[in-house]
A and B are shown apart, each in its own frame.
Chain A
Amino acid sequence: MTAKEKTEKKQIVAPGEILESGDDFLPGDWTIKEGKDIVAIRLGVMEKNDRLVKVIPLSGVYIPRRGNVVIGEIKDMNYSGWMVDIGGPYGAFLTLKEVPGYVEESEMETVYGIGDLIVTQVFNVKRTAVDLTMKQREGGLGKIRDGLIVKVNPHRVPRIIGKEGSMIKVIKDATKCSITVGQNGLIWIKGDSIEDRIFAKKAIEFIVENTTTDGLTDKVESWLKENEGKKK
């Protein structure tokens, strides 16, 4: 990538900003065509791929996508399932059918009670509601019993995970914590001691404060080394 392409890639655009003009380009995500112009309709980073111009949002509520693993809070329940808050504009629902094994209506509260947090997966996105499932081949879904929860802007999640999980792996290794990152911005940190968990939390805060920096993975690694001793 040339320097020009790099700076072009990281260009922040705001709603109403004209990104391109003419018939050479097509409007992608978060852009509209107004006459000859392609206009951004969201605050974010502009990206041009071939002829497609799109905006990658930097802020805003979580928009659920099929397959997303998220962390949600049980808000309520009825005879057919649980109402879950996964952030975003709409509520989510987990039916009894989508929970492994057989759950009696009377047992529901003990399986997932109000206020409990669960690691769950989005399997259907409807117009104003989301369906969740706890049945997943790889496992990893279930109730959170202990650990530390951190909430971040969901748009930071890709940075925190890193390319093919490289960034989060660096943190897991350095802090000796098991970390589950929900696409909705909730992150579950499991560690032996509260100090390890706090250390992992601080590492995530560091990433969030420096997302626009280049070479972030290296910076995170050195930050982790520096602060290893300080944690307790």
Chain B
Amino acid sequence: MKERKNNMTDKSLYTKRFDGRKLDELRPISAKIGVVPNADGSALFVQGDTIAIAAVYGPKTLNPKHMQNPEKGVVRVHYNMLSFSVGERIRPGVSRRSQEISKVTEWALSPVVMLEELPGTVIDVHINILQANAGTRCAGINAASMALAHAGVPMKELVSAIAMGKMDKTIVADVDKEEEDYDDGEGATDMPMAYLANSGKISLLQLDGRVQVDKFKEAIEAGREACKKIAELQMKTLKEYK
């Protein structure tokens, strides 16, 4: 049993990561497109032990009419975890958590899609988590970004996401489940973020925990570098399209 220590010095209690990774090291990542033949576009994204699959349908006319945007097409995201993707079973169906993640994912992807030429249409993005080991919304965004490109949706750039974290006083990239549960010193602060690959603008930003302002700055800068690595893989996978 770990005890909460009151750490007054600058030295962090978390110096070595549980799985031996360097502070800025991502878990092994891999990706694949075209995994759902029925969809207009689809992709699989694996980040360590977290596996996300995304499928895109559209653009198609959105019904009912009153939900349409007369200026441009819209993106609609549905994020859902499979019941057996986690340790303690999740009852199938929509939860408040999945609704929230669906919405922030939509906000993360919308800035890049160019749907001005497609008013009144909708692009449905379905994200399912097959296996969860933290960073699921980020893996979902990474998969969805590729699925949108695969589906031929016009996009200014790709979106890449990473779950940054602070373990006591240490900023780490790509938090895994064990780290999420870290409880020493200042505990764990979870900071999922998404960057637009080229412009470097942030389209997803959430935080829960406690973090000093300068540490936060360190986190978002490190997050940018981590997302560049994700974008590299996404781009490489898309270019292997046949």
**A interface, CB within 8 angstroms of B:** 12-18, 30, 32, 34, 39, 41-44, 57-61, 89-91, 127-128, 155, 211-212
Contacts and interface: CB of A to CB of B under 8 A. Distances in A.
Binding site secondary structure of chain B? loop
Nearest to A41: B154
Contacts of A61: 40, 58-60, 152
A60 B119 contact: no
Contacts of B234: 14
Contact of B157 (A16, A43, A155): A16
Binding site secondary structure of chain A? loop
Contact of A59 (B61, B119, B150, B155): B150
B121 interface: yes
A59 B137 CA distance: 26
Contacts of B198: 16, 18, 34, 39
Contacts of A212: 242
Given A41-B154, A41-B156, A90-B61, A17 B118 contact: no
Interface string B154-192: 111110000000000000000000000000000000000
Nearest to B68: A128
Interface residues of B, number: 33
Contacts of A211: 242
B151 A15 contact: no
Given A16-B158, A41-B156, A60 B151 contact: yes
A39 B239 contact: no
B73 interface: yes
B60 A60 contact: no
B241 A43 contact: yes
A91 B61 CA distance: 8
Given A60-B40, A89-B58, A30 B154 contact: yes
Nearest to B34: A59
Interface of B: 40-41, 58-61, 73, 112, 114, 118-121, 149-158, 197-198, 231, 234-235, 238-242
A15 B60 contact: no
A42 B152 CA distance: 6
Given A12-B239, A14-B158, A14-B239, A89 B152 contact: no
B157 A89 contact: no
A59 B156 contact: no
28 contacts: A14-B158, A14-B234, A14-B235, A15-B156, A15-B157, A16-B158, A16-B231, A17-B235, A39-B156, A41-B114, A41-B154, A41-B155, A42-B149, A42-B155, A43-B149, A43-B152, A43-B238, A44-B152, A57-B152, A59-B40, A60-B152, A60-B153, A61-B58, A61-B60, A89-B60, A89-B118, A90-B61, A128-B119
A89 B239 contact: no
A34 B197 CA distance: 14
B154 A89 contact: no
Contacts of B241: 12, 43, 58-59
